[in-house]
Structure 1
Amino acid sequence: MSSCCSPEGRPASAPARADVAADAQAAGAPGAFTPADPAPGAGAVHDDVAVPAGTFAMGDPFGEGYPADGETPVHEVSVSAFRIDATAVSNAQFAAFIDATGYRTESEVYGTSAVFHLAVQADKADILGTAAGTPWWLNVRDADWAHPAGPLSSWEDIPDHPVVQVSHSDALAYCAWAGRTLPTEAQWEYAARGGLAQARYPWGNELHGVAADGTDVHRCNIWQGTFPTENTCDDGFLTTAPVRTFEPNAYGLFQTSGNVWEWCADWFLPKYYKSCLAKGTVEDPPGPTIGRGRVMRGGSYLCHDSYCNRYRLAARSSNSPESASGNCGFRTVAPSR
C-alpha cells in the first residue's frame, strides 16, 4: 500500500493489495472509463508548462543510487516536445474529477489505506495494524483521497496540497477523464531536470542553500530529524506541502524533489537502462513491457539521505499498481500544442 525505504536503503513497501483484488472487483472496484462516462476533459483545469524537445543523459551520474533500483548506466535519451503539469494534481483538481464522474478510488473500495504513524487522524478502533517490516505505516480504516490521514481528516482542509491515497489505476482514470496521460519515466526526468545537465536536484547539486545569516535554506519537503520518530519540520511541513511550495525549476515545475512520490506510466524493470544503453540514443522510450510494479519518481516528505536518498532526480522506486499511500500522487502530461 505504501512505498518508502528502510534504514538500509532498500525499498520497503507495505503489503500490496493483490490478495484482496478479487473481492474488490466483486464489490465494484474502479476500472477503465467507458463511453457512458462524462466526456474526457469535462471540468479539467491544468496549469501546464511547455517542455521543448531535446536530448539528455538519463540516470545517476554520481554513483549514489541503490544498485537494485537500476539507476545506471547513464544513457542518452531524446524526448519530443510535450506539456506537463507545473504541479502535482491537487486535492481540489481531483475533487472536480470525483464530482464529475462519481468515480470510487481503490482505497475507497478496499476500505483501508496506509497512513504514516505521526500523521494519523483516526479513532484507535480504525487503526487496524502496522505493515510488516515498516511499523511507521499504519493500515487505517476509511483512509482515502478525501480523508488522506484517516476518517477524521478532510481534503477540504488542504485543497492546494497534492492528492494522495491514489493508486496507479486511479491516476489513469483521472487522466482518461482529463484527456491527458501519465508521463513516461523519461519525460518525467527530462522535465524535472529543467534543462540542468546531470544535476543532482532540480536546482543544482547542493541540497540546501545558505541564507545571509548562514542558516540553511530549504528547497524541498523531505524529512528532518530522526526517522521515523521525530521530524523537526525545519522545512515547515510534517507531511505534504501545498503544490506551489519552494522555487520551481527552470521549466516551471514545482517540487520534483520531495513532497510526494509521483506515478509514471512505465513498468519498473531495474535492468531496463542497460538495454537502452546498447541501443545508442533512445527516442521517446515507453519503458519496458513487463515489470514488478509501476515506476514512482521524486521521493516524498518521508525521504532523508540517512536512509532513503531517493529525492534525487535520477532516483527511482516502484509499487504495485493497485497500491496507495499517504505520500504518493501524480502529475499529468499532454502533447505539445
Structure 2
Amino acid sequence: MPITQRNVTLLMLVIFNTGILGVTGIFWMTNARTLLPIAVVGSFLLIALLFAYWHGWEPARFLASAFLAIVIAGTINDPLLTFSVGTTPLLAVSAAALIATPLWAVGSTLIVAMALLVRMAAPDADFFVADFVIYLLNSSAIVLTRVVAETATQHAEAQATAAEHARAQSEIQAAELAQRSAELQTQNEQQAQLLDLVATLETPAVDMADGVLLAPIVGHLDTRRASQLTARLLQDVSERRTRLVILDIAGVNNVDTAVAQAILHTVQAVHLLGCDVIVTGISAAVATTMTHLGIDLSGITTARTPQEALGQEIGSRK
C-alpha cells in the first residue's frame, strides 16, 4: 500500500495522543498541578481531532499542528521542561511539516521562536543566542525538506495527470482512427461495387437468342477494358453454355493496332471454350484502317449487323 499524506497524518496523530497521554501520566504521578490540566485538555482535544480526521475532516490536521505549537510555546519556560529545551521546540516544527504544509511549519517555527526569545530575556536564562541560532537552522532544514518533498510530490502528480491525459487522448485518437478506418473501408467497398457496376456497363452481355450472346463495345477499347471484356465473356460463355458470341464493335470510335490485337485475343480466348464468334459493326473507315495496319482478320467471321449475324446462326442450324 502506498504511503499517503493521510496515512502519515493518522500515524502522527496516534503518536501525539500516545505521547500526551504518557506526559499526562507523568504529570499525575509527579503532582505537577500547573501542567496537568493542560495535558488533560490536550489529550481530549487530540483524541477528538484524531477521530475527526479519521472520518474525513481535513482541517483536523492543521488544528492539531497549531495546538501542538501553542502548547510547546506556552510551556517552554516551565522548569519541568528545561531538560528537553534543545529538542522540544523542534517537535512543533517537525509535526507541522509532517501533517500540515510548509507554510504551517514556518508558522510553528515563529510561534516557538517567540517563546524562546522570551526565555532568553529572562534573568535566569539558560537558553542562549547560539542555541536560538541552532534552533532556527534546524527548523529551516525541516521546512526546506518538507518543501522539497511537496514539490516532488506535486511534480509527480502533475506527471501522472499528464500521462493520464495523454493516455486518454491516445484512446480518443485510436477510436477516431478506427472510425476513420471503418469509414474508409466502407468507402472502398462502395467504390469497388461502383467499379464493378461500371465494368459491367462498359462490357454488357445480352442474350439475343437461346445460346446466342451479344457483346456490344462502345467507346475507346484500351488494355483494361479489353481484359475486362475477355474475362466477362469467358465467364458468361461458361455459365450460360453459349454457342455463339456476337461481338459488335460499331460503337468503337477508333481502331489501332492495340485495339485490333485486343479484339483478336478476345475472339481466340472465346474460341478455346468451343464457342463461335462473329464480329459485327465494322465500318468502312475501320476496315480501311485495319487494312492499312496490316491486320489479318481472315480467321474471324464477320457480319454487318448483329441481326445479320443472328440470321446466319439461325440459317446454319436449319
What TM-score does the superposition give when structure 2 sets the normalisation length?
0.21
What TM-score does the superposition give when structure 1 sets the normalisation length?
0.20
- Answer with 1 or 2: which has the greater Rg: 2
Name whichever structure is richer in strand by fraction. Answer: 1
Name whichever structure is richer in helix by fraction. Answer: 2
